[in-house]
Chain A
Amino acid sequence: MSRTLTSGNEAVARGAWEAGVAVGVGYPGTPSTEVLENLVRYEGVRCEWAPNEKVAAEVAAGASMAGKRALVTMKHVGLNVAADPLYTQAYAGVRGGLVYLVADDPGMHSSQNEQDTRNHAAAAKVPLLEPSDSDEARRFTRVAFEISEKHDIPVIVRTTTRISHGKSLTAAEDPETLVTRSYVKEPDKWVMIPGHARARRRLLDGRLAGLAAYANDCDLNRMELRDPSLGIVCSGVVYQYVREALPEASVLKLGMPYPFPSDLVLDFNSRVERVAVIEELDPYLTSRVKALGVELVEHGLPSIGELSPRMIAEAFGETPLDQREAFNDLPPRPPLLCPGCPHRGVFWALDRMKAVVTGDIGCYTLGALPPLQAMDSCICMGASVGMAHGMEIAAGTDRPLVAVIGDSTFAHSGITGLLHMVYNGGHGTVVVLDNRTTAMTGHQGNPVSGRTIAGDPAPELDLEALGVALGAATVRVVDPQDLEATLAVLREETAAEHVSVVAAKAPCALLIGPTELRYAVDDELCSKCGACVRLGCPAISKEPSGIASIDVSVCVGCGQCVQVCRYDAIAETGPACDIGGGAS
């Protein structure tokens, strides 16, 4: 069988397609995003971006009720949003197979927290599969649909960043031919009123017992007996680290860690002299193995962040490798707003106003970093709006108070916050940064930008009409590339005693690409005031003399710096010598 180099995300899409999935739906979130972006390329699968994960899970639930197989995708924190449908779906079960792909991010490469989805699975009482490489991601996704239908339950496939964005050699199989299922009316299964739910709750325990029996002897969980002096229990990518670090050790690899295969673990324990559990994040396996009365080898590996082969090898007694010394005092390189980013105009204005800014999640969260530092909070998607209102009613501030939220984030969970603000008589100002895309996760369409996952045009959410309908007193549209105009509108609206929505509308700089213009600083006219440098544009630097300088190879010609220079020291220059058209 020929095998190709495939990312975990591509492999999940392939596995879902092989399983005959009819519907794929999700909300973007690193590291899960590319699953749906790959699935949409397969013919015959209807794929959709949802405004948020809860809606995605509900769409998938409907597809399942209609008898079709459905995949719903999200990052770990997305499952908090989709937890409500999931927890009750466990009771109701499925008709067509229903699989949740949930991608965790140990180490928080691109996330605001590090929660461990295995806990959600146990709490929601739904089985969880955990692949260790791309080929398993494909096969486990396929099997997940079978388990889902056979045991009448939604199934989670949990990946982590190294699985989602790691590539390894992966096989491909032909798609299954499915027996067609269709909708049947089953109110005691699908209408979860208390009377029905109580019965389904009891049945759920029966289904879980069946799943536990399956977990104890299915080939997703695998015992590899080598040297009997040490046995390691592990799952996911950690299996690879263990194989590399402790090649002689016996291993119990759990591809299905929930329901927990207790009998298998006890069997493994009886075949090796000492047992250790090695896992990333929470002590999910550790606590369950311990509860069986198995005495564990202590190794002191952390439950924060990612593990690695050397960490494991050294925890089991290997001497550290010779290493080159790190260079001291290197400047950090935090991510930044791109040159030409329209968000910069809004943060420049908020910085000038010395506003208190409740923020949200997206590229624009980078406005919290120096030099603009114009954001005071970022907790979860949609939080900016409610938090601004909470601050207002609790204590107010002597400075202007503004909620800042991206277009995709506003559609995700900002609208209900605004409704709350209006309903409860608040006076908040909500700035929707409408850059026509979901930029942070790689430029997905969303209901505000009006483009589907397949790239087709869709109705654009009318932010002005929506603001009015929700009861905002004013809805203003500004061009954030026009800095003074943006500042003026924000000043007016924060001073006013009413709820206002300010839609800052200009496309993401990466969508439109560089303009033809380039700018340069006239050394004679530059007063060294630093106003342009404080924009935090990566094209602008401060020379040791204090004079500003613009790197034409980075400049995209947006002209924001021209607007903030009070000395007319920045003017057009020749085009960059970019011949264009390379690989990226």
Chain B
Amino acid sequence: MSTVTTVVLAGVGGQGTILAGDVLAKVAVAEGFDVKLSEVHGMAQRGGSVDTIVRFGEEVFAPVIDLGVAEHLIAFELLEAARKIPYLAPGGRLVVNTRTIQPLPVLTGVFPPPVGLVPALEYEGAIFLDAEALACEAGSPRSANIVLMGAASVGLPFSAETWRSVIERRVPAKTVEANLRAFELGREACEGGACSS
């Protein structure tokens, strides 16, 4: 059937989903795939829900996806994982950063904080990791997006070599080492299928 693989990166504006999506897409290109990527800039980037969609395969047409289509959902935040779950195909791979960024309606007490997300996502088959903690360990708290790419890479058909060379070229020169470590830590955390949390 479809030879196209769809990855959704879901997060909060400002979390670095755009850079992560660009790295992922470039890795797929380097491995010889046709690739389409789509994301939304502008108002949503001010702390709203955002997603980047990367699709690769022999020939990719649509840059967007529908509910139930994605083989991979990489969630940069717990609540966004829950929000985007309907995009994930049955049997798809779900990687979830355990970080929560409470939205304003929760912070101001208008909306009750969501409860029970972790067990509910576990039921959906989530593998969890604390990307911020691993990013700190790697030497740069802002490399959490690359930690998550490390975690995503375990389920994707690309060589670690390609990932590393794309990361080297794509992140600011001063942060190459921290980001490469971040990638390794994310990858290690998920090797063997289950992430440590």
Which residue numbers of A lie inside 8 Å of B, CB to CB? 4-5, 30-31, 33, 109-110, 133, 161-162, 165-169, 237, 240-241, 243-244, 306, 308-311, 321-327, 329-338, 363, 366, 369-371, 440-442, 530, 533-534, 536, 538, 540-542, 577-584
Bound-state CA distance A165–B104 (Å) is 27
Chain B residues lying within 8 Å of A336, measured Cβ to Cβ, are 46-48, 104
Identity of the chain B residue whose Cβ is nearest the Cβ of A329 in the assembled complex: B114
A336 to chain B, nearest CB (A): 4
Chain A residues lying within 8 Å of B65, measured Cβ to Cβ, are 308
Bound-state CA distance A335–B104 (Å) is 9
Q: Which of B133-141, B156-164, B188-196 contacts A (4 or more CB under 8 A)?
A: B133-141
B contacts with A, residue count (CB < 8 A): 77
Known: A109-B42, A583-B142. 16 other contacts (CB 8 A): A30-B41, A165-B40, A169-B34, A321-B68, A331-B103, A332-B111, A333-B47, A333-B49, A333-B80, A334-B105, A335-B45, A370-B110, A441-B42, A533-B107, A584-B16, A584-B145
Q: Which of B7-55 contact A (CB under 8 A)?
A: 12-14, 16, 19, 22, 25-26, 29, 34-49
Q: What are 7 A-B pairs at a CB distance below 8 A?
A: A5-B37, A166-B37, A167-B38, A168-B63, A324-B68, A370-B105, A534-B108
Chain B residues lying within 8 Å of A323, measured Cβ to Cβ, are 67-68, 86, 90
- Known contacts A333-B79, A583-B143, A583-B146; A536/B103 CB under 8 A: no
B96, CB-defined interface residue at 8 Å: no
Number of interchain pairs (Cβ within 8 Å): 224
Identity of the chain A residue whose Cβ is nearest the Cβ of B64 in the assembled complex: A308
B57-94 to A contact mask, C-beta < 8 Å, 1/0: 00011111111110000000001101101101110000
Contact: A167 with B142, CB < 8 Å?
Answer: no
Neighbour of A583 across the interface among B16, B46, B136, CB < 8 A: B16
B102, CB-defined interface residue at 8 Å: yes
Interface of A is mostly: loop
Report which residue of B80, B113, B140 has the largest number of chain A beta carbons within 10 angstroms of its beta carbon.
B140
Neighbour of A335 across the interface among B16, B47, B141, B146, CB < 8 A: B47
Bound-state CA distance A584–B142 (Å) is 7
Contact: B104 with A168, CB < 8 Å?
Answer: no
Interface of B is mostly: mixed
Contact: A538 with B64, CB < 8 Å?
Answer: no
Chain B residues lying within 8 Å of A578, measured Cβ to Cβ, are 141
Neighbour of A241 across the interface among B25, B46, B61, B109, CB < 8 A: B61
Contact: B44 with A109, CB < 8 Å?
Answer: yes
Identity of the chain B residue whose Cβ is nearest the Cβ of A533 in the assembled complex: B108
Contact: B38 with A5, CB < 8 Å?
Answer: no
Contact: B85 with A310, CB < 8 Å?
Answer: no
- Known contacts A310-B67, A322-B68, A332-B103; A370/B178 CB under 8 A: no
Contact: B83 with A542, CB < 8 Å?
Answer: no
Contact: A332 with B37, CB < 8 Å?
Answer: no
Contact: A442 with B145, CB < 8 Å?
Answer: no
Bound-state CA distance A582–B14 (Å) is 12
A391 to chain B, nearest CB (A): 26
Contact: B46 with A338, CB < 8 Å?
Answer: yes
A457 to chain B, nearest CB (A): 25
Contact: A581 with B29, CB < 8 Å?
Answer: no
Bound-state CA distance A165–B45 (Å) is 13
Bound-state CA distance A533–B104 (Å) is 10
Q: Which of B129-175 contact A (CB under 8 A)?
A: 135-136, 139-146, 170-172, 174-175
Bound-state CA distance A308–B88 (Å) is 16
Chain B residues lying within 8 Å of A33, measured Cβ to Cβ, are 41
- Known contacts A323-B67, A542-B107; A167/B25 CB under 8 A: yes
